[in-house]
């Protein structure tokens, strides 16, 4: 402690902070390494949780897309004797679906694309997973122009033998209407039988999880084939 007088003769007492010397010296290398290690450990613990939270948000946005597609299909059916659009095949291109809904009942093309589509784009492009390959499911101007979208649509007129659907040949055409059984799948996330990963970082194969739009326009996340799906 030091005593001083200012120019007015008033006594000033200054107390020396005993920690000041240590603070001015900064961190030692060992202390810095401890801090870095702690931060790295915390990030390693938090990043998976953040990744899951982001994917959950994308899955929710995807379900919203399918729900809006369901409303669009309902409005289409009102003006078409209860019938939904009928595609030739199950899979891209899907020009009958997109042309029937856009822009008359849905005016935003983003609705036709899953926010997690990039995760499965390599598998859609490949011919190694039970499909013909060369597919694309991401939102680009080129894909939109050729009616390539992220979702599968299940109201179809004939079977594509390259893309197996669990129906006998005699069950085609498979035409869905607004009064079809509620358990029938109307649309779903992109799927292919043997891919290891589905959208939303779910395990692939027929047992993998995906968002599904049902014929009654409800949307649920399913991890298995539901009875009466097709």
User: Looking at the chain, how many residues does it have?
Assistant: 230
Higher pLDDT, 132 or 112: 112
Report residue 202: phi and psi, to 5°.
Answer: -95, 155
Distance CA 130, CA 152 (A): 15
The reported pLDDT for the residue numbered 116 is 93
Q: Examine the pLDDT at 111 and tell me if it is beyond 60.
A: yes
Kindly write down the DSSP assignment for every residue of 93-145, as one continuous string: --HHHHHHHTTTT---GGGGS-TTGGGTHHHHH-SSSSS-S----S--HHHHH
pLDDT confidence bin for 156, thresholds 50/70/90:
very high
Quick one: pLDDT at residue 41?
A: 67
Q: Residue 117: CB partners within 8 Å, gap ≥ 6?
A: 137, 138, 139, 150, 190, 199
Mean pLDDT of the chain: 84
Question: Full-prediction pTM beyond 0.75?
Answer: yes
pLDDT digits (tens, 9 = 90+) for 24-62: 455 677 777 777 776 666 665 655 555 567 888 999 999
| Radius of gyration, alpha carbons of the chain | 29
Question: What pLDDT does 133 receive?
Answer: 84
Distance CA 190, CA 139 (A): 13
Location of structure tokens 């409800």: 218
Quote the pLDDT of residue 25: 55
Each residue's pLDDT tens digit, 157-168: 998 877 767 788
User: Between 162 and 134, where is the model more confident?
Assistant: 134
């Amino acid at each position: 402690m030091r005593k001083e007088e200012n120019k007015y003769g008033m006594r000033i007492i200054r107390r020396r902070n005993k920690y000041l010397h240590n603070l001015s010296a900064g961190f030692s290398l060992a202390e810095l390494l401890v801090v870095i290690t702690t931060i790295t450990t915390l990030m390693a613990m938090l990043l998976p949780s953040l990744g899951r939270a982001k994917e959950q948000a994308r899955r929710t946005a995807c379900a919203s897309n399918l729900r809006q597609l369901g409303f669009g299909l309902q409005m289409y059916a009102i003006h078409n004797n209860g019938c939904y659009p009928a595609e030739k095949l199950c899979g891209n291109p899907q020009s009958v679906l997109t042309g029937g809904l856009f822009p008359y009942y849905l005016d935003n093309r983003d609705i036709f694309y899953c926010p997690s589509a990039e995760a499965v784009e390599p598998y859609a492009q490949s011919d190694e997973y039970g499909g013909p390959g060369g597919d694309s499911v991401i939102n680009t101007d080129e894909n939109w122009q050729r009616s390539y979208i992220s979702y599968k649509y299940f109201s179809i007129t004939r079977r594509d033998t390259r893309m197996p659907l669990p129906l006998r040949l005699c069950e085609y055409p498979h035409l869905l209407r607004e009064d079809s059984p509620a358990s029938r799948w109307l649309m779903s996330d992109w799927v292919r039988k043997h891919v290891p990963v589905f959208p939303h970082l779910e395990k692939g194969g027929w047992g993998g999880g995906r968002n599904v739009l049902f014929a009654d326009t409800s949307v649920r996340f399913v991890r298995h084939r539901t009875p009466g799906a097709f």
